[in-house]
């Protein structure tokens, strides 16, 4: 039985770094990942005046009571969509002037999904380049609260929901976000734990998250948080273990039910999956996951399941490529707007390597086989594609090279070493796939 740990959860870390400076005292955050995306939020919050002090690797002491100042230079969110969208909500709510920008991949991603509802609240935001994308400028607001907002997004998005909650919290305005499929709920959990007036109302066909700061003057309680490991990072090691017939235990990993769709799919495929809850960190459940290899069946991901495994689809796609039978992914068009067009690029790469794969407007149909695969994988600089195809490349009998392997730095800087430890390179040489 191999055991491993993964870097801290990116989604929880972004939110903790944004909320801790708003608290009424000193927070301690441990397990902050060193990957590029989360560091973008560290830099962005520092630019707004946040006081972060390093207390060792991944440990930050954060002074509360942020008095945000408009940063003199544009805030560079690099490749991080979560940084850009959450910061948009924060700047809109705080009413400070500022500019948000990103690298060329982030400049291609849609920002109108947050800008439009923030403008509807009265936030003065302008596109500086192409309409709908970064860079964007916040003109600052002299006085007066934002208008309340009731928003029903076309697609569920935790980044949009979180941006609007941050705008409501810091702008002193009621916000209701109604999703037909619940997106990850880390913001709601952290905000409630810190004492913010957040309510979640779940009905069969929708989830409404409301934040109503009227009459609420209590300060936010500081955080003392150990960020649990990121199940989205663990997904790649779990798939590598299953494809090489190993049992694996991932320790100290986040088990928030809005994120564990991967485990349900693996169970549906016939894998042994056992979770053990060991604690809760600021309302975030965490524990260990044990995965036992088995003869696996193909899977079907229905649209309603997508938000719970959104970032795990590249890992599941390479798993499908080696499982006999046809696996289906539906309702995942949102993947076209991630760090790359993840549906298109996954299909193109699988096809190029010799996997029988059809791309649909919102999904993939993958017929798995044991045929040896060979070719060059184009990652488009997307960390999740580099890791997914990196796992495929490591299987015995493959002759696959992955372009831009350094893309893993975005979320999992030690990924290649962890993969080496789990599936030694020597195993991959000169052997044919066992399935
Ligand atoms: C994230 C939400 C998800 C996910 C992304 C991180 C977040 O995107 O894909 O990697 O931390 O809020 P959506 O905004 O599409 O839910």
> What pLDDT does residue 301 have?
98
Residue 433 pLDDT greater than 80, yes or no: no
% pLDDT > 90, the chain: 94
C-alpha of residue 300 to centroid of ligand 1, in Å:
22
pLDDT band at 430 (very low <50, low <70, confident <90, very high): very low
CA of 308 from ligand 1 middle (Å) equals 10
Mutate to test the pocket of ligand 1, among 41, 79, 81 (most ligand atoms within 8 A of CB): 81
Closest residue to atom 15 of ligand 1, CA basis: 157
- The answer to whether the CB of 410 falls within 8 A of the CB of 35 is yes
Q: What is the Å distance from ligand 1's center to 184 Cα? A: 8
Distance of CA 93 from the midpoint of ligand 1 (Å): 21
- Whole-number Å distance, alpha carbon 162 to ligand 1 midpoint, is 10
CA torsion, ordered 229, 230, 236, 239, to nearest 10 deg: 70
Mean pLDDT score of the chain: 96
Q: How do residues 195-206 score in pLDDT, each as one tens digit? A: 999 999 999 999
Q: Which of 156, 159, 207, 337 to mutate to test the pocket of ligand 1 (most atoms within 8 A of CB)?
A: 159
- Reported as a single tens digit per residue, the pLDDT across 367-423 is 999 999 999 999 999 999 999 999 999 999 999 999 999 999 999 999 999 999 999
Q: Beta-carbon neighbour count of residue 271 at 10 Å?
A: 20
Q: Residue 260 in contact with residue 63, Cβ under 8 Å?
A: no
Calpha distance 87→108 (Å, rounded): 17
pLDDT digits (tens, 9 = 90+) for 242-292: 999 999 999 999 999 999 999 999 999 999 999 999 999 999 999 999 999
262 touches 238 (CB < 8 A): yes
User: Is it the case that residue 435 has pLDDT exceeding 90?
Assistant: no
- Pair 407, 35: CB distance under 8 Å: no
Spell out which residues line ligand 1, taking CB within 6 angstroms.
11, 14, 82, 157-159, 162, 183-184, 310-311, 334
Atom of ligand 1 nearest to the CA of 310: 9
Residue percentage of the chain with pLDDT more than 70: 97
Distance 5 CA to ligand 1 centre (A): 22
Question: Are the CB atoms for 17 and 32 separated by under 8 Å?
Answer: yes
Q: Compute the distance between CA of residue 227 and CA of residue 233 in angstroms, rounded to an integer.
A: 14
- Supply the pLDDT for residue 390: 98
Best residue among 33, 155, 157 to mutate for probing ligand 1's pocket (most ligand atoms within 8 Å of CB) is 157
Query: In ligand 1, which atom is closest to the CA atom of 156?
Result: 16
The closest-lying atom of ligand 1 relative to the alpha carbon of residue 232 is: 10
CB 435 within 8 A of CB 298: no
Can you tell me whether residue 285 is helix, strand or coil?
strand
Q: How many CA atoms lie within 13 A of 395 on its CB side?
A: 28
The catalytic residue positions are 311
């Amino acid at each position: 039985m191999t055991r491993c740990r993964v870097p801290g959860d990116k989604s929880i870390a972004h939110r903790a770094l944004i909320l801790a400076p708003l608290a009424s005292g000193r927070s301690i955050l441990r397990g902050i990942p060193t990957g590029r995306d989360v560091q973008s939020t560290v830099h962005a919050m520092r630019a707004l005046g946040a006081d972060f002090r390093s207390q060792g690797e991944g440990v930050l002491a954060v002074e509360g009571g942020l008095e945000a100042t408009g940063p003199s230079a544009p805030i560079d969110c690099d490749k991080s969509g979560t940084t850009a969208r959450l910061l948009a909500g924060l700047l809109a709510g705080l009413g400070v002037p500022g500019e948000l920008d990103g690298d060329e991949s982030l400049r291609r991603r849609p920002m109108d999904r947050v800008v439009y509802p923030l403008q509807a609240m009265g936030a003065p935001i302008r596109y500086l380049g192409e309409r709908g994308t970064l860079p964007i400028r916040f003109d600052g607001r002299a006085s007066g609260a934002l208008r309340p907002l009731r928003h029903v997004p076309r697609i569920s998005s935790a980044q949009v929901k979180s941006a609007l909650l941050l705008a409501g919290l810091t702008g002193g305005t009621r916000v209701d976000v109604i999703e037909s499929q619940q997106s990850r709920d880390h913001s709601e959990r952290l905000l409630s734990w810190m004492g913010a007036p957040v309510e979640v109302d779940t009905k069969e066909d929708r989830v409404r998250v409301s934040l109503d700061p009227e009459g609420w003057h209590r300060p936010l309680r500081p955080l003392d948080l150990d960020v649990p490991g990121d199940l989205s990072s663990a997904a790649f090691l779990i798939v590598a273990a299953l494809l090489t017939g190993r049992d694996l235990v991932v320790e100290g990993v986040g088990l928030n039910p809005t994120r564990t769709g991967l485990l349900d799919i693996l169970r549906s495929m016939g894998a042994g999956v056992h979770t053990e809850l060991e604690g809760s960190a600021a309302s975030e459940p965490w524990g260990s996951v044990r995965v036992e290899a088995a003869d696996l069946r193909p899977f079907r991901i229905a649209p309603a399941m997508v938000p719970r495994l959104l970032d795990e689809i590249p890992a599941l796609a390479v798993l499908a490529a080696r499982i006999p039978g046809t696996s289906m992914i539906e309702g995942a068009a949102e993947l076209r707007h991630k760090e790359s067009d993840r549906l298109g690029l996954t299909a193109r790469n699988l096809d190029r390597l010799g996997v029988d794969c059809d791309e649909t407007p919102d999904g993939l149909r993958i017929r798995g086989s044991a045929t040896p695969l060979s070719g060059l994988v184009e990652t488009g600089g997307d960390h999740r594609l580099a890791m997914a195809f990196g796992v495929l490349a490591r299987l015995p009998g493959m002759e696959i090279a992955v372009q831009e392997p350094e893309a893993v730095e975005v979320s999992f800087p030690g990924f290649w070493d962890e993969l080496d430890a789990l599936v030694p390179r020597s195993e991959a040489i000169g052997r044919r796939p066992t399935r």
